[in-house]
């Protein structure tokens, strides 16, 4: 298995360190698939998360061995459209065989900024600048609501999730670094050909898309349609053909409707656990 950088679409100039030697630091606990913290020995010596294909748990609705490719595809699409929300990610060989390697946001041994994107608040106590997406109860019976920020970058992330058909946008997958920049991680269960959008970012459901996101969608579909860009070929190397075709259809549909999607009937709208 080669890398996306080998003759394919290059999304970002900082991928080189991800293709260099890796030093295993340790396993990341509480992950449904094998996730390994590694140090990038090239470049600035930053850390990355390595998800080997051999450590992927089988799923009933996604083909085996495709989750790593979906992680990389999310980065490529994010960059191609101009969202720039997914950290640099490549597909490469590693200590445990082929897998995805993605730059770690911040220092893995230090906390990130306290500027949350998704939070849990008492029901009816939604703070200004936030919106509630659903309510429930804690094990003790306390009524609570899951809320998310209404900042424009979070709104753009909701559009990106609709584009890639993200089936697992939990609150913990939305991060801000110490400079306040928003990042999105964990996209292994994205790009399915069937509608599977499952997210905590439903605050704009049915509302008109922002002009900036319409421009990103136009940019993405132009890049997909341009054979010289290499994007479509790179995605075909990472995903089943039906999933790439469905991506084209979703982008075209969003541009046609010009609105944020609503939850699909017959499919859970929110991942579990949501945070």
User: Tell me: the pLDDT tens digits for 36-84?
Assistant: 999 999 878 899 999 999 999 999 999 999 999 999 999 999 999 999 9
pTM of the model: 0.92
CB neighbour class for 162 (10 Å; exposed up to 12, middle 13-18, buried from 19): buried
- Give tens-digit pLDDT for 165-216: 999 999 999 999 988 999 999 999 999 999 999 999 999 999 999 999 999 9
- Least trusted range by pLDDT, from 137-141, 147-151, 196-200, 262-266: 137-141
Max distance between CA atoms of the chain, in angstroms, equals: 58
pLDDT of residue 22: 94
How long, in residues, is the chain? Answer: 275
Q: Domain spans of the chain?
A: 16-111+151-257, 119-149
Q: What contacts 225, CB < 8 A, 6 or more positions away?
A: 232
Average model confidence (pLDDT) for the chain?
Answer: 91
What is the distance between the alpha carbons of residues 39 and 50, in angstroms, rounded to a whole number? 10
pLDDT at 111: 75
**Above 60 in pLDDT, residue 14?**
no
pLDDT digits (tens, 9 = 90+) for 88-103: 999 999 999 999 999 9
């Amino acid at each position: 298995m080669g890398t996306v950088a080998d003759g394919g679409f290059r999304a970002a100039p900082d991928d080189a360190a991800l293709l260099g030697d890796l030093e295993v630091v340790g396993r990341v606990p509480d992950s449904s698939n094998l996730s390994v913290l590694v140090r990038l020995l090239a470049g600035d010596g930053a850390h990355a998360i390595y998800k080997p294909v051999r450590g992927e748990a089988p799923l009933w609705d996604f083909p085996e061995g495709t989750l790593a490719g979906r992680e990389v595809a999310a980065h490529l699409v994010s960059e191609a459209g101009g969202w720039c929300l997914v950290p640099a990610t490549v597909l490469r060989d590693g200590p445990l065989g082929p897998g995805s390697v993605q730059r770690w946001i911040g220092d893995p041994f230090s906390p990130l900024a306290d500027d949350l994107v998704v939070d849990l608040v008492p029901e009816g106590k939604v703070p200004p600048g936030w919106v509630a997406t659903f309510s429930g109860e804690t094990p003790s019976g306390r009524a609570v609501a899951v809320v998310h920020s209404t900042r424009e970058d979070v709104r753009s992330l909701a559009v990106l999730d609709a584009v890639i058909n993200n089936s697992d946008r939990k609150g913990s997958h939305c991060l801000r670094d110490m400079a306040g920049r928003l990042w999105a991680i964990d996209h292994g269960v994205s790009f399915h050909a069937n509608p599977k959008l499952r997210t905590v970012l439903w605050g704009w459901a049915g509302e008109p898309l922002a002009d900036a996101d319409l421009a990103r969608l136009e940019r993405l579909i132009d890049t997909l349609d341009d054979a010289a860009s290499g994007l479509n070929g790179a995605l075909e190397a990472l995903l089943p053909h039906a999933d790439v075709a469905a991506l084209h259809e979703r982008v075209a549909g969003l541009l046609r409707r010009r609105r944020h999607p609503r939850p699909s009937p017959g499919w859970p709208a929110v991942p579990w656990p949501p945070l």
